[in-house]
Structure 1
Amino acid sequence: MRAHDTYDYAVIRVVPRVEREEFVNVGIILSCESNQYLEARIELDAARVSALDPGIDIEALRRHLDTIPAICRGGAGSGPIGQLPLRARFHWLTAKRSAIIQTSPVHMGKCADMAATMEHLLDRMVRVKSAPSP
């Protein structure tokens, strides 16, 4: 049986009108230093974001959100931040900022399966469960 590894994660949020401080969770950044693992998954619900700001440019928002997984992957096309070591990329991505795209505080956990943990975090923090039919 594989030992559990410590991981860090943050929820990616879209704050369409920063002055109102309303946000929609749109993704997860998951990092495990001992596994050299850094991944971000984005699941943008455009209707939920547009409900907070009907005038938001969803396509521009998608382009900006797409840079987060690219920075996590690193390599060619990921820009200067994507060339940093994994932990530096994670800390850069999760740094506090006042912008339309923000992250939650960093949280920690332990797991044996990073892919399953990513799915669990997306289910719990990002995906909206549909209400049961009456």
Structure 2
Amino acid sequence: MQDRYTFEYAVIRVVPKVEREEFFNVGVILFSKRKKFLGIKYYINPDKLKAFSPEVELDLFNNYLKAWELVCAGNPKGGRIEQMELSDRFRWLTACRSTIIQSSKTHSGLCNDPEKMLEDIFNSHVL
């Protein structure tokens, strides 16, 4: 029997107009300490974004999420945060905020393969 590893994840949400508190899911961020894995997967449906807020540009949200991707990857372009440990980066990205990109509360589970679990959660919560 293969070992199963604990993981935590949060669903990433786009909130085009924060004052209206309306959002839709665009991605997932997943962290597994034992597997030393921090990954993010996202996709913003342009039609859905236009339905929520016709004047908002898709590139704005994609640029924010690309910055999150850099932080997950530990890329130096991610700024000082990329120098933090994986767990600290995950906590920073999933911290409660009232901006146009937010995350759900964190959830936990067990899996054999964090990368596959990221894909599965993305497919079930975003697509």
Q: What is the CA-CA distance between 1:65 and the residue it aligns to?
A: 1.1
The one of the two structures with greater contact order (alpha-carbon pairs below 8 A, sep at least 6) is: 2
User: 2:22 maps to which residue?
Assistant: 22
Q: Deviations over 1:37-94 (max 9, x none)?
A: 1011111112111211101121121111111111000032121111111000000000
Larger Rg: 1
Instruction: Tell whether 2:14 aligns with 1:10.
Output: no
User: 1:130 maps to which residue?
Assistant: none
Per the alignment, in what secondary structure is the counterpart of residue 56 of structure 1?
coil
Identity of aligned residues (%): 39
In 1, Cα distance between equivalents of 2:115 and 2:73: 15
Per the alignment, in what secondary structure is the counterpart of residue 2 of structure 1?
coil
User: 1:87 maps to which residue?
Assistant: 87
Q: Which amino acid aligns with 1:83?
A: Q
Structure 1, gaps ≥5 residues long: 128-134
Q: How many residues align?
A: 127
In 1, Cα distance between equivalents of 2:47 and 2:84: 34
Q: Which amino acid aligns with 2:115?
A: A
**Superposition TM-score, scaled by structure 1 size:** 0.91
Per the alignment, in what secondary structure is the counterpart of residue 69 of structure 1?
helix
After the TM superposition, list the runs of 4 or more consecutive aligned residues in structure 1 that deviate by more than 2 angstroms.
none
In 1, Cα distance between equivalents of 2:36 and 2:88: 12
**Superposition TM-score, scaled by structure 2 size:** 0.96
User: 2:40 maps to which residue?
Assistant: 40
Q: CA RMSD in A?
A: 0.9
